[in-house]
Amino acid sequence: MKELIRKRILVTGGAGFLGSHLCERLVAQGHDVLCVDNFYTGTKRNVAHLLDHANFELMRHDVTFPLYVEVDEIYNLACPASPIHYQYDPVQTTKTSVHGAINMLGLAKRVRAKLLQASTSEVYGDARQHPQTEDYWGHVNPIGPRSCYDEGKRCAETLCMDYKRQHGLDIRIARIFNTYGPRMHPQDGRVVSNFVMQALTGEALTVYGDGSQTRCFCYVDDLIDGLIRLMNASTPPEAPVNLGNPHEISMLDTARRVIALSGSGSDIAFKPLPVDDPWHRCPSIERARTLLQWEPHTSLDVGLEATIAWFRRLIESTRERAAMAY
């Protein structure tokens, strides 16, 4: 049996949705994990169950400022990822993507650490290619309300590749497509969390346009497996790697499925499409299949059931705390 090589691993944005699941997995594998977060969208609740582990450490820090630690690997996940949160303070969003990447790359250069950059499918913008392959350059509005995130992540990718070429750093870039699961922020404005919260509270589910636009949803456990496989790949890919579920579903069908699985009596309300909202978002994952032997395995119904159960418990615990306050 292959012996574990215990590594010192930094996870920025580690108290967020994806970051907390990643920290949990790495701690379970026996690595020393330093979780860094400024708690803008992340929460201590997401990692509270890890605090008693000797190989887990939590630090409040904003990646727009330099960080001086000794680590072997860096997962740079720090950045608000939902439109509501990244558009609230767009200047800070760009700073987090760009300055954060500069600071983490500088740290990686100093300690010769491997770095995995969490990029996004939003680098493809309102894509004219479908599905999106990694060699597609995208169709992005550089001055729109979403550009703080889209262009910030594109610039971070540029920085990563330049550090790789100029300084010989071991860089891996994951272009993450829509991911869902337990610990999503209940007010993040993303499709699954919106639909589930609305269904469980009896509100009408908000569908934009006529609901025929499509997305692909990857369950969080599958995504975390992909990130770890990408970091652990013996040969670093020469270019970004898409990580997501290639099976498309329309927004209207997603809403109907959430209503059915949650047992909700909610209606569906149609509203105008947001500015620059992409019509289709679907990854080609052939590169991940070939290089990482990775593809998602969790069905949408199974993932949604787990997500609905988690949000149901969250709502119940919030009500219980409110009742106790009175």
234: tokens are 């013996």
pLDDT mean over 31-39? 97
- Range from 22-31, 149-158, 179-188, 315-324 carrying the lowest mean pLDDT: 315-324
pLDDT the model gives residue 148? 87
Q: Does the N-terminal peptide bond of residue 296 adopt cis geometry, omega within 30 degrees of 0?
A: no
Dump pLDDT digits (tens) for 231-247: 999 988 999 999 999 99
CA distances from 71 to 8, 39, 67, 111, 165 (A): 5, 22, 11, 7, 22
Sequence length of the chain is 326
Amino acid at 317: S
CB 18 within 8 A of CB 224: yes
185: tokens are 């922020």
From 40, 75, 86, 149, the catalytic residue: 149
Quick one: how far is CA 2 from the chain centroid?
30
Pairing state between β 214-216 and 248-250: antiparallel
Crossing angle of helices 147-167/90-111, nearest 10°? Answer: 20
Dump pLDDT digits (tens) for 99-147: 999 999 999 999 999 999 999 999 998 888 989 999 999 999 899 888 8
Hey, where are the domains in the chain? 8-320
Q: To which CATH superfamily is domain 8-320 assigned?
A: NAD(P)-binding Rossmann-like Domain (3.40.50.720)
Dump pLDDT digits (tens) for 271-284: 998 776 777 889 99
Q: pLDDT-based confidence at 324, cuts 50/70/90?
A: low
> What sections of the chain are H helices per DSSP?
17-28, 83-88, 90-111, 147-167, 191-200, 220-232, 251-262, 286-292, 300-325
Phi, psi torsion values for 296, nearest 5 degrees: -70, 150
pLDDT the model gives residue 242? 98
pLDDT mean over 296-318? 95
pLDDT mean over 46-54? 97
For the question of residue 149 being annotated catalytic, the response is yes
